Each structure stands twice: as C-alpha cells, then as structure tokens.
A and B are shown apart, each in its own frame.
Chain A
Amino acid sequence: MRTDMLIRRGLLFAATALTAAALAATAGVPAQAAVPVAGVAVQAADQAANLANAKKLATVRIDGRLAMLRAEGVAIRNAARLTDAHQAALQKTVDAGIAGLTELRAKVAAETTLEAVRAGTRSMVEDYRVYLLVRPQVHLTLAADVAAAALTRLRTLHDKLAQAVTAAKSAGKDLGDAEAKLAHLKSELDAMESALSGLADDLLAVQPGPDSAAIRAKTAAARADVRTARTHLRAAATDAKALRDLLKP
C-alpha cells in the first residue's frame, strides 16, 4: 500500500515534470525561430540604406569633380597666354574627364551592391585624379605660359636697353653700373628660361593612376619650377626698372 503511494507520487512527479518541459519547449520554439527572420529583414534594410547612402555620396563626389572640370574648361578657353598645343592638350584631358565621370555617375546610380559602388568610387579617384593632378596641370601650365610670355617681352626689352646704354655711353653719358645690371638681367632671364624648359610638357605627360605619391611628387616639382621662374622674373624686372631709371634724361 505504501509502495503503491510512492509509485503514484513518482508517476505524478514525472508527468508534471514532462508537462512542464513540454510547455516550456512549445513556448520556446516560436520565439527562437522569429529572431533570425527579423534579423535578416533588418540586415536587408540596413544594406539597402547603406547602398543608397554610398551611391548618394559617390554621386555627390562625382558631381564635385564634374563641376571642377567644367570650371577648368572655362579657364582654359579664356586663357590668352596659353599656347595652342597646351590648350589642346588640357582641353582634351578635361573633355575626357567630363565624359568618363558622367558615364561613371550613371553606372554608380545603377549599381546594386556596395562592392560595385566602392569600385566606382575608386575609379572616380584613381582614373581621373581631378584634384590631385588635373587642377594643378591646368593652372601650372597656365602659369608657365604666362611666365614664358613675360620672358619673351623681357628679352626684347633687354636688347633695347643694351642698345640704349651703348648709345648713351658713346655720347659720353655716365650710366654707372648699367652694364653690370644688363649682365645681371640677362643671367636672370637665362635662369628663368632654364626653370621653364620642358615644365609644361612634362607636367602634361603625367597620367592619373593609383600611385598618388608619385603624382604629388611631379606636381610639386612643377610648382617649385614655376616659383623659381617667378623669382627670376621679379629680379629681372627689378633690373629692367633700374636700367630704365638710369637712361632717363
């Protein structure tokens, strides 16, 4: 009798435990299954938002470059001192950049993956180098051609001043150190010509690419040469002014 009671209690305990376990199991299964479903949906929404944002950002960056290239095109067309060859070369670069980036803009807008947008962004930078290369190419070439025009004018002026100095000395006029100033003026013009030699052509030959350090080194060298030419131009102009003052009646 006592044994039967113990057996019944054991069975009841076991049944209760199994029922509780079953209830717990049935309550837990749907909750655990819902978590991955919701996570996938959130992830998909995040990816779509990330893709949209990446495309938006890439488009804004492309538009900035297109605006810059259009402005450079205007500068090239309005540059009075630019040689025909340099103008043609720069215009070709700008036109190719505008065409390529416009095409890339449409391509990026149609991309469906972040990886593709990232590849488009990389192309936007490395295949065009609008800021790192094209802009310095335009303005340093313009500066070099302006300096070359100044050099030509100063060479002609030097020759006229030299003739006037010779004539004035023949007439017995004391011109102090005019001849030394003429020699200094000539040496400044020669140094200026040396700084400008091949500058624009070398700079225009640089192509865009992934090696930004190499591009930067070349634009920095061209910038330094133009600054050197400007220094000599200023010194030569100072000499010419002094000679003009000596020749004044």
Chain B
Amino acid sequence: MRRAIAMTALAVALGVALTGCRGGGNRDASPPAGPDTGSTVATTPAPAPKTPAPAAPADAAAAVVSQADKDLAELDKLLAELDGQLKKAEESPNDED
C-alpha cells in the first residue's frame, strides 16, 4: 500500500515537473526575476533604453542648413536651365516667319 502511494506521489511530482517545463509558455517567456548570481559567467544588466531627447536648437539649425545647401545647389541648376531655355526662346532673324 505504501509502495503504491509512493509511486503515485512520484508520478504526480513527475507530472507537475513536466507541466512546469512546458509551462504553457509562462515560465519560459517571463524574464528572470533578478540577476543570475548563481552563474559562473558574469552578466551585466542591459542598460535602460534611452528616451529620445528633443533636438537641440543647434542640431535643428544644422539640419536646416544642410537641407538649404542641397536646395540652393538644386536652385542653381534650375537657374542655369532657365537661362538656357530663355536663350533658345530669344528672337532670331527667322522670326519674321
């Protein structure tokens, strides 16, 4: 009788242990509660994620200056193209016709 109870208890314990391993995902998914002090490998805690700070006025101005450089270079090209088209549209001796 005792042997049967012991066997039953062992089976229940084994079942509980196996259920804990599969765990429905909870134990595997949840992060460790604290640092792994029992490990022989030292791990450093991950740094806390930084929240983006608002851009400083100097950074914003630099970004605008950079964009302005690009826009002004493009405007120089557009001006050259405009000059070229105007030159082609000038009156010529053939314009009598």
Contact = CB atoms under 8 A, between A and B. Distances in A.
Interface of A: 81, 125, 129-132, 135-136, 138-140, 142-143, 146-147, 149-150, 153-154, 156-157, 160-161, 163-164, 167-168, 170-171, 173, 212, 216, 219, 223, 226-227, 230, 233-234, 237, 240-241, 243-244, 247-249
A149 B68 contact: no
Contact of B72 (A140, A143, A244): A244
B82 A143 contact: yes
Interface string B61-74: 11011011101101
Contacts of A81: 78, 81
Interface of B: 57-58, 60-62, 64-65, 67-69, 71-72, 74-76, 78-79, 81-83, 85-86, 88-90, 92, 94-97
A205 B91 CA distance: 19
Contact of B60 (A125, A167, A226, A248): A167
30 contacts: A81-B81, A125-B97, A131-B95, A135-B89, A139-B88, A140-B85, A150-B75, A150-B79, A150-B82, A154-B71, A157-B67, A157-B68, A157-B72, A161-B68, A164-B60, A164-B61, A167-B60, A173-B61, A219-B89, A223-B86, A226-B82, A226-B89, A230-B83, A233-B75, A237-B72, A237-B79, A240-B75, A241-B68, A241-B72, A244-B68
Tell me the interface secondary structure of chain A in the complex: helix
A127 B85 CA distance: 25
Contacts of B86: 139-140, 143, 223, 226-227, 230
A169 to B, nearest CB: 9
B57 A173 contact: yes
Contacts of A125: 97
A131 B94 contact: yes
Nearest to A236: B75
A230 B75 CA distance: 11
Contacts of B74: 153
A21 to B, nearest CB: 63
Pick the 5 closest A-B CB pairs, nearest first: A139-B89, A143-B85, A171-B57, A164-B64, A131-B94
B64 A161 contact: yes
Nearest to A72: B88
Contact of B97 (A130, A243, A249): A130
A247 B61 contact: yes
A134 to B, nearest CB: 11
B79 A167 contact: no
Contacts of B61: 164, 167-168, 173, 247-249
A230 to B, nearest CB: 6
Contacts of B60: 163-164, 167
Contact of B64 (A227, A233, A247): A247
Contacts of A161: 64, 68
